[in-house]
Amino acid sequence: MFRPVPSKIDFVQMEKDLLAWWDECGIVEKYLIRNDGSGKRFSFVDGPITANNPMGVHHAWGRTYKDLFQRYKTMQGFEQRYQNGFDGQGLWIEVNVEKDLGMTSKTDIEDYGVDKFVELCKERVRRFADVQTKQSIRLGYWMDWDDSYHTMSDENNYTIWHFLKVCHEKGYIYEGRDVMPWCPRCGTGISHHEIVTEGYKDITHPSVYVRFPLVDRPGESLLIWTTTPWTLTSNVAVAAHPDLTYVKVKVKGTGPDGGDETLYLVKGRLEALKADYEVIEEIKGSALEGLRYHGPFDELPAQEGVEHRVILWDEVSESDGTGLVHSAPGAGEEDYALSKEYDLPAIAPLDEFGKFVDGFGELTGLSVFEVARPIHRSLREKGRLYRLDQITHRYPVCWRCDTELVFRLVDEWFISMDELRHDIAEVTKKITWIPEFGMGRELDWLRNMDDWMISKKRYYGLALPIYKCADCGHFEVIGSEVELEERAVEGWDKFEGHSPHRPWIDEVKIACEECGATVSRIKDVGNPWLDAGIVTFSTLGYRNDKDYWRKWFPADLISESFPGQFRNWFYSLLTMSTALENTEPFLANFTYATLLDEKGEEMHKSKGNAIEFEEGADKMGVDAMRWMYSGTNPASNLLFGFGRADDTRRRMLIPLWNVYSFFTTYANIDGYTPDTPAPPVGERAELDRWIISELNELIRTATASLDRYDPQTAVREMDEFVERLSNWYVRRSRRRFWKSEVDTDKVAAFATLHECLTTLVKLMAPFVPFVTEEIYQNIGRNGGSESVHLEDWPIADESLIDTRLDDATRLAMRLSSLGRAARSKAGIKVRQPVAKVAFKLRTDAESDLLEQVAPQVRDELNAKEISVLDDVSTVANLEIKPNFQLLGPKYGRDVGQVVGAISKAEPSEVFRIVSANQQVELGEYTLEPDEIVVSATDKEGFSVIAEQGYSAAVTTEISAELELEGRARELVHQIQNMRRDAGFDIADRITTYYTGDSGIDEVIAAHEGYIRQETLSDDLIKSAPPEEAHASSHRINGLDAALGVVVNE
Name residue 248's beta-bridge partners.
Answer: 264, 281
Q: Which long-range contacts (CB under 8 A, 24 or more apart) does 34-39 make?
A: 34/74, 34/790, 35/74, 35/77, 35/78, 35/79, 35/80, 36/79, 37/79, 38/77, 38/78, 38/79
Report how many residues bind RNA under the rule CB under 7 A.
73
The interface region with RNA, picked from 4-12, 134-142, 229-237, 896-904 by CB under 7 A, is: 4-12
Query: Concatenated DSSP letters for 814-830?
Result: HHHHHHHHHHHHHT--T
Interaction of residue 804 with RNA, rule CB under 7 A: no
Measure the CA angle with vertex 351, ends 203 and 95; round to 5°. 65
Q: How far is the CB of 834 from RNA (least distance, A)?
A: 12
Considering only residues 421 through 440, tell me which ones interact with RNA, judged by CB under 7 A: 437, 440
Interaction of residue 416 with RNA, rule CB under 7 A: no
Interaction of residue 868 with RNA, rule CB under 7 A: no
Ordered alpha helix ranges (H), 906-959: 907-915
- From the CB of residue 386, how many other CB atoms can be counted at a distance below 10 Å? 24
Considering only residues 10 through 39, tell me which ones interact with RNA, judged by CB under 7 A: 10
Half-sphere exposure of 571 (CA within 13 A, CB side): 27
Considering only residues 130 through 189, tell me which ones interact with RNA, judged by CB under 7 A: none
Interaction of residue 637 with RNA, rule CB under 7 A: yes
The binding track of 536-565 with respect to RNA, each residue x by CB under 7 A or -, is ---------------------------xx-
Q: How far is the CB of 716 from RNA (least distance, A)?
A: 6
Considering only residues 878 through 917, tell me which ones interact with RNA, judged by CB under 7 A: 915, 917
The dihedrals phi and psi of 303, each to the nearest 5 degrees, come to -90, 0
Q: How far is the CB of 1001 from RNA (least distance, A)?
A: 23
**Residue 519, SS3?**
strand
User: Which of 417, 587, 742, 821 is the binder for RNA (CB under 7 A)?
Assistant: 821
Q: How far is the CB of 4 from RNA (least distance, A)?
A: 12
Q: How far is the CB of 42 from RNA (least distance, A)?
A: 25
User: Which of 131, 166, 639, 913 is the binder for RNA (CB under 7 A)?
Assistant: 639
Q: Quick one: how many helices (H) and strands (E) in the chain?
A: 34, 40
Considering only residues 358 through 387, tell me which ones interact with RNA, judged by CB under 7 A: none
User: Which of 292, 380, 842, 1022 is the binder for RNA (CB under 7 A)?
Assistant: 842
Smallest Cα–Cα separation from 191: which of 428, 455, 404?
A: 455
Q: Measure the CA–CA gap between 645 and 12, rounded to whole angstroms.
A: 13
Q: Measure the CA–CA gap between 804 and 782, rounded to whole angstroms.
A: 33
Half-sphere exposure of 247 (CA within 13 A, CB side): 17
Interaction of residue 320 with RNA, rule CB under 7 A: no
User: Which of 430, 829, 881, 1035 is the binder for RNA (CB under 7 A)?
Assistant: 829
Task: Pick between residue 9 and residue 838 the one whose CB is nearest to RNA.
Answer: 9
Q: Measure the CA–CA gap between 465 and 506, rounded to whole angstroms.
A: 10
Q: What is the DSSP secondary structure assignment for residue 355, as one 8-state letter?
A: B
User: Which of 940, 985, 1027, 1049 is the binder for RNA (CB under 7 A)?
Assistant: 985
Residue 242: cis peptide before it, omega within 30 degrees of 0: no
Q: How far is the CB of 562 from RNA (least distance, A)?
A: 8
Interaction of residue 600 with RNA, rule CB under 7 A: yes
Q: How far is the CB of 760 from RNA (least distance, A)?
A: 14
687: left (phi over 0), alpha (psi -120 to 50) or beta: alpha
Q: How far is the CB of 637 from RNA (least distance, A)?
A: 6
User: Which of 421, 619, 831, 989 is the binder for RNA (CB under 7 A)?
Assistant: 831
Interaction of residue 592 with RNA, rule CB under 7 A: no
CA-to-CA dists, residue 384 to 255, 294, 489, angstroms = 9, 10, 58
Measure the CA angle with vertex 264, ends 258 and 269; round to 5°. 100
Q: Are the C-beta atoms of 508 and 501 separated by less than 8 Å?
A: no
Interaction of residue 418 with RNA, rule CB under 7 A: no
Q: How far is the CB of 1035 from RNA (least distance, A)?
A: 13
Interaction of residue 414 with RNA, rule CB under 7 A: no
Look at strands 509-511 and 488-490 and give their pairing: antiparallel
User: Which of 445, 459, 537, 690 is the binder for RNA (CB under 7 A)?
Assistant: 445
Q: Are the C-beta atoms of 624 and 11 separated by less than 8 Å?
A: yes
User: Which of 544, 799, 937, 948 is the binder for RNA (CB under 7 A)?
Assistant: 948
Task: Pick between residue 306 and residue 954 the one whose CB is nearest to RNA.
Answer: 954
Interaction of residue 977 with RNA, rule CB under 7 A: yes
Interaction of residue 658 with RNA, rule CB under 7 A: yes
Q: Measure the CA–CA gap between 38 and 79, rounded to whole angstroms.
A: 6
Interaction of residue 390 with RNA, rule CB under 7 A: no
User: Which of 408, 979, 1012, 1034 is the binder for RNA (CB under 7 A)?
Assistant: 979
Task: Pick between residue 286 and residue 636 the one whose CB is nearest to RNA.
Answer: 636
Q: Measure the CA–CA gap between 397 and 198, rounded to whole angstroms.
A: 9
Q: How far is the CB of 1026 from RNA (least distance, A)?
A: 18
Interaction of residue 642 with RNA, rule CB under 7 A: no
Considering only residues 726 through 745, tell me which ones interact with RNA, judged by CB under 7 A: 726-727, 730-731, 734, 738
Considering only residues 197 through 216, tell me which ones interact with RNA, judged by CB under 7 A: 197
The dihedrals phi and psi of 11, each to the nearest 5 degrees, come to -60, -35
Largest Cα–Cα distance of the chain, in whole Å? 125
3-state SS of 395-441 is EEECCCCCCECEEEEEEEEEECCCCHHHHHHHHHHCCEEECCHHHHH
